[in-house]
Amino acid sequence: MPYVSCYMRILVVAPTPFFSNRGTHIRILEEALALEKLGHQITIATYHIGQDIDTQTKTQIDVRRIRRLLFWYKKLEAGPDWQKIALDIMLIRKVFYLARTQKPDIIHGHLHEGVLIGWIIQKVLFWRKMKLVADFHGSLTKEMVSHGYLKRGLKTVFSVIEKIISNLGDFAIASSWEGAQEVSQWRTDQKCEVLLDGINLDSFHVAATKEEIRQELELPKERFIVGYTGGLVTNKGIDYLLDAIHLVLEKRIDIFFLIGGFPAQQVQSFIKMHHLENSVRLVSPLDYFKLPEFLKACDIAVDPKDCDTAQASGKMLNYMAAGLPIVCFDKPNNRHYLGDSAYFCSEMTSTEIANGILHLAIQPAEMLEKGTANKKRAQEFSWDKPGQQLDVIYNSLKK
């Protein structure tokens, strides 16, 4: 029996320069597309900068931006910035206007800032009886610490703020098992449901062959290519990967690394400093809509993110959809996605990442087995499932 949804107006609060080619934005976009597919009217309130999604995908999602008063602010990469306080104040004004004029059934707040903004508007317009869904992508405090942004005193303050925000909303969801467990401990109702990322499976039907894509990207045809996509910052595990590159190339000069993401400075400096232009290629920024071709050029993929920020890893799903064997850390979220079809590092170190790469590079049969299994398992993680899960949550709040 096909799933039947009831029409709702959804106001999404995205306190970020939507759309940019990184995980947080991919989750926001794909959630919205899944809800639109179910027949809902979606409006996204966001910052003044970011890529217009209707130029890349067919959609009626209405993206509304704040005014460009901070015209000099052009930061697209992940990480805190004190100027975001001004942007979020402007976003409160935008969300208030949209909530007043569009009369949404649901306010869906992404990230801790979006949840707080949604809560403020919900209370100011209390007679509208709008419901607030809090969508947590990871720990606010841990992410700021991972970016080197908080000292001890401020860390305590932000921990208190995070706990308060985590208790807001009529329903809470988190992008990972670790995140849901953490938020549940702080909520008085102790309820936080895991809403895992999904995959846009249709985009992975790539007609070009691996050889054709490598030729187009001017990649070495005969070398073993290791791929990484995502944020090129510490809390995404990029330091583990860069250290592992050294260890791998000491033993196998025929291995090549293809890295896609931003900000580019750290990786560019690494390549230049160590004269690795013939062994490492950086594509920055990597267009999300070109991701399937990028991954098809690779032989295996690496996800070096550790547990510190309680974030999910959407890149894992894209690796799976591309049919790639994966080297990653042994985390509950990774096990949930991959089962046994990965090289799970025995410890969270660069040495283990390197060991995983070197192991798979000499095991073609194991590579084929794991890659095939991942592609098959990817079918279970279409965005249709989390979209329906979210729709059920919405309907439970409106009863």
Domains of the chain, by residue range, sit at 9-198+383-398, 201-380
Mean pLDDT of the chain: 91
Joined together, the tokens standing for residue 282 give: 């950086």
Please compute the mean of the pLDDT values over residues 285-304 and round it to a whole number. 95
- Give Cβ neighbours of residue 131 (< 8 Å, ≥ 6 apart): 105, 106, 107, 122, 170, 171, 394, 397, 398
The answer to whether 269 and 338 have CB atoms below 8 angstroms apart is: no
- pLDDT above 90 for 40: yes
Would the CATH topology of 9-198+383-398 be identical to that of 201-380?
A: yes
Between 142 and 184, where is the model more confident? Answer: 184
| C-alpha span between 169 and 129 (Å, rounded) | 12
Q: What pLDDT was estimated at residue 150?
A: 60
Residue 101 in tokens: 């004029």
Which string of DSSP letters, residue by residue, matches 50-107? S--GGGTS----EEEE---TTTT----SSS--TTHHHHHHHHHHHHHHHHHHH--SEE
Give the whole-angstrom CA distance, residue 37 versus residue 33. Answer: 6
As a CATH number, domain 9-198+383-398 is 3.40.50.2000
pLDDT at 264 over 60: yes
Question: Which is more confidently placed, 235 or 50?
Answer: 50
- Residue 289 in this model has a pLDDT that exceeds 60: yes
47, 17 contact by CB (below 8 A): yes
Report the topology of domain 201-380. Answer: Rossmann fold (3.40.50)
- Would you place residue 168 in the very low, low, confident or very high pLDDT band (cuts 50, 70, 90)? very high
Alpha carbon of 57 to those of 52, 122, 290: distances in Å? 10, 31, 12
> Given pLDDT bands bounded at 50, 70 and 90, which one contains residue 141?
confident
Mean pLDDT on 159-178: 92
Residues of the chain with pLDDT > 70, as a percent, come to 94
Torsion of CA 296, 301, 305, 307, to 10 degrees: 110
74-83, 238-247, 353-362, range with the lowest pLDDT = 74-83
* Statement: residue 167 has pLDDT above 60: yes
Instruction: Give the per-residue pLDDT at 324.
Output: 97
Helix (H) or strand (E) holding 193: strand 193-194
**According to the model, what pLDDT value does residue 312 have?**
58
pLDDT > 90 fraction of the chain, expressed in percent and rounded: 74
Stretch 114-119: mean pLDDT: 98
Res 308: pLDDT: 56
User: Is a pLDDT exceeding 80 seen at residue 182?
Assistant: yes
pLDDT the model gives residue 187? 93
* Residue 262 contacts residue 283 (beta carbons within 8 Å): no
